[in-house]
Chain A
Amino acid sequence: MTQPSAGEDWSATMFRQMADSGVDLFAYVPDAGNKRLIECADASNEVRTVLLTTEEEGLAICAGADLVGKRAVLCMQSSGLGNCVNYLSLVNGGKFPLLMMLSMRGDYGEQNPWQYPMGQAVDAIFEAMGVLIFRVETPDDLEKATAAALHATGAGAQSAAIILTQKFLGAKAF
């Protein structure tokens, strides 16, 4: 069960912003936080979705898309960032301007102790590997943070992550 505090339409808003910016491949490991976004993508005939077996695979797929001039996004739970760390070498060293969308666990209201270590390490990992962070804590942040991340990974030529906090998403109940 989730207890969403965010407005129900935020996923559709985010999807529209991404699609309008030319993001046409959504690679994902399923999470409650990206469920509706991926449903929006699946319902669209403008984009395609790629279900992953593990998160780092998505970074390589997004990098491959970039090699032929396309924009993609990797959607994952914060725990999946831990699986990605070495592949951020490709992102950083290769200057691939990759876009990520993280739905947080282990930050605000988390009741599962397994989620805290990785959740609390997210910022440090991104900082260490040279990925910009755009954080969403309130519904007002969503469009601005998404637009900022799209600009950063577009003309800005940076890699960047939109972080959807549990303050925004709501915490899973146990």
Chain B
Amino acid sequence: MTEAKIDRRELLPQLFENPDDYLFVSGLAGAAKDTSALTDDGDNLYTMAGTMGAAVPMGLGVALNASDRKVVVVTGDGELLMGIGSLVTVASMAPANLSIVCIDNAQHGETGGQPGHTGKATDLETIAKGAGFSSTMTITCSDQIKDGVGFLATATGPRFLNVRVTDGMPSTYKRNMDPAACRHRFRNAYLSDG
């Protein structure tokens, strides 16, 4: 397993220089904190604080129905593995406007840093390939982030980008955790843009 050298807090601002250009769905815990910090908990973001595993299929539902928008799911290795079958569904539906970014710290950071499967034998990019993704990439050090930017911009969608990060803390951000208020916020912003 390649040693990870990316600090997760520097990742998303470099991957998404103009966050307003995207619709984001994030899984719970660290991914939600990092995307909230990126967008200032914006109305183009729906974060979860439960329903582990739901980020990829929720992003798929958005992407299939907002084909004019670039949709990004930000998830973690634990969250992704809990709903890993959704990679298969995404590959079958093949929405060209969907990118999945997995912040892979090989542990369950939110619950105490318990070791995860990706620190052992499991490789998420290989799983995504097997699910049927033709566009996959793994990056492990900071100078590869620019390659990730190019991948998200030019590779044929759907795209799967796995980012091996160090075991540091996610961004610090106190986001709105009311799921109904956030639904309204996202929905109203999208529909008024349309």
Quick one: which of A64, A89, A90, A95 contacts B65, CB cutoff 8 A? Answer: A64
Residues A67 and B187 in contact in the complex (CB < 8 Å), given A48-B64, A57-B89, A61-B57: yes
The answer to whether A65 and B50 have CB atoms under 8 Å apart is no
Residues A65 and B64 in contact in the complex (CB < 8 Å), given A57-B83, A60-B57, A90-B51: yes
CB-CB under 8 A from B62, the residues of chain A are: 64-65, 67-68
The answer to whether B50 and A64 have CB atoms under 8 Å apart is no
Inter-chain CA distance A56–B86, complex, in Å, is 10
Q: 13 extra interchain contacts, Cβ-Cβ under 8 A, other than A59-B54, A68-B190?
A: A50-B64, A51-B89, A52-B85, A57-B83, A60-B54, A64-B61, A64-B64, A65-B61, A67-B62, A68-B62, A86-B50, A87-B51, A95-B183
Q: B residues near A, CB below 8 A?
A: 23, 25, 46, 48, 50-66, 83, 85-86, 88-89, 92-93, 179-180, 182-183, 186-187, 190-191, 194
Residues A95 and B50 in contact in the complex (CB < 8 Å), given A63-B58, A67-B61, A67-B62: no
The answer to whether A53 and B50 have CB atoms under 8 Å apart is no
Inter-chain CA distance A90–B16, complex, in Å, is 27
Number of interface residues of A (CB under 8 A): 31
User: Chain A residue with minimal CB distance to B50?
Assistant: A89
Inter-chain CA distance A102–B23, complex, in Å, is 31
Distance to closest chain B CB from A136 (angstroms): 26
Distance to closest chain A CB from B94 (angstroms): 12
Q: Give A93-121 as 1s and 0s: 1 = Cβ < 8 Å from B's Cβ atoms.
A: 11110000000000000000000000000
Inter-chain CA distance A63–B180, complex, in Å, is 11
Inter-chain CA distance A64–B183, complex, in Å, is 10
Q: Give A45-79 as 1s and 0s: 1 = Cβ < 8 Å from B's Cβ atoms.
A: 00010111110111111111111111010000000
CB-CB under 8 A from B83, the residues of chain A are: 56-57, 60
Inter-chain CA distance A48–B93, complex, in Å, is 10
User: Chain B contact residues: over half helix, strand or loop, or mixed?
Assistant: helix
Quick one: which of A25, A63, A90 contacts B50, CB cutoff 8 A? Answer: A90
Interface centre among A52, A54, A64, A95 (most CB of B within 10 A): A64
The 9 closest A-B pairs by CB, nearest first: A64-B61, A53-B85, A94-B179, A60-B57, A61-B61, A60-B54, A64-B58, A95-B180, A64-B62
CB-CB under 8 A from B61, the residues of chain A are: 25, 60-67, 72
Quick one: which of B51, B53, B57, B191 contacts A64, CB cutoff 8 A? Answer: B57
User: Chain A residue with minimal CB distance to B46?
Assistant: A67
CB-CB under 8 A from A57, the residues of chain B are: 57, 83, 85-86, 89
The answer to whether B194 and A69 have CB atoms under 8 Å apart is yes
The answer to whether B179 and A52 have CB atoms under 8 Å apart is no
